[in-house]
Amino acid sequence: MSCGFPMTHCWSATVAKEVAAWKRQLGTIFPHVIDLSFSSYDAATNFYRADPIHFKPDVGVRFMNADVLPFAIRILRERPPPAAAP
């Protein structure tokens, strides 16, 4: 489905509720999740017109370097080191 905008802008109220429930469930499995759904990366120009689900490569590089990697490094620094194997 293509509406000319990122998929989040095309959701019906029902789909939005289902996605919100899915995100809550995902958060219980993966507590350290970065949700970029409604971020500055959500601009229509960051997606292909024919594929409003996947970011363009340069956008992916930008958010990995600006948001995801710094977040992952911070989380890793906050966690205690794993126990040594016997």
Per residue in 12-67, pLDDT (tens digit) is 788 888 888 988 999 899 888 888 877 888 888 998 888 888 889 999 999 999 99
The pair of three-digit structure tokens given for residue 51, joined into one six-digit string = 């594929």
Residue 54 — φ and ψ, nearest 5°? Answer: -100, 135
67 inside domain: yes
**Is residue 35 situated within a structural domain?**
yes
In a domain, 61, yes or no: yes
**pTM for this predicted structure:** 0.60
Ramachandran bin of 72, using left for φ above 0, alpha for ψ from -120 to 50, beta for the remaining angles = alpha
**Residue 86 included in any domain:** no
Question: What domain range is 40 assigned to?
Answer: 7-78
Segments in the chain forming alpha helices (H): 13-29, 57-63, 69-78
Distances (CA, A) of 12 to 24, 48, 64: 18, 21, 29
**Position 43 in a domain:** yes
Interacting residues of 68 by C-beta distance below 8 A, sequence separation 6+: 34
Count of domains in the chain? 1
